[in-house]
Amino acid sequence: QVQLAESGGGLVQAGDSLRVSCTASGRTLNGYAMGWFRQAPGKEREFVAGFSRTGGFTYYGDSVKGRFTISRDNDKKTLYLQMNDLKLEDAAIYYCAAGRTVITSQIRSHTAYDWWGQGTQVTVSW
């Protein structure tokens, strides 16, 4: 069992940077695929970034590639998402997720993940 808790969301202006974190309790993150997803009102949950189960590969959604960076600290059992040059369309609730059996082709699919945090709100204004 894995419990995930996001933090670090807030209100920023367009062009600003923000880092959100996801801390796991219950076990290490090693061996789990980890992902960041986001959901804006009225929209479907969207893949943002993810790590393969081995931790050796990272993946990004097209809309954030080059602006966002996913990283992890296994000792601290924490996943990070560094968001730079934020745009209005980045505003959403950001969720982290962990999956035991997620394979590469499933990294971007929210249905492949087993555990989710409660989310952290990111609001972007002019």
Neighbours of 45 (CB within 10 A): 17
Q: How far is CA 85 from the centre of its chain?
A: 17
When the pLDDT of each residue in the chain is averaged and rounded to a whole number, the result is: 95
pLDDT digits (tens, 9 = 90+) for 51-77: 999 888 999 999 999 999 999 998 889
The mean pLDDT of 96-125, rounded to a whole number, is 96
Q: Are 104 and 58 in contact (CB under 8 A)?
A: no
pLDDT digits (tens, 9 = 90+) for 6-34: 999 999 999 999 999 999 997 777 889 99
pLDDT at res. 21 = 98
Neighbours of 114 (CB within 10 A): 14
Distance in angstroms (rounded) separating the CA atoms of residues 33 and 101: 8
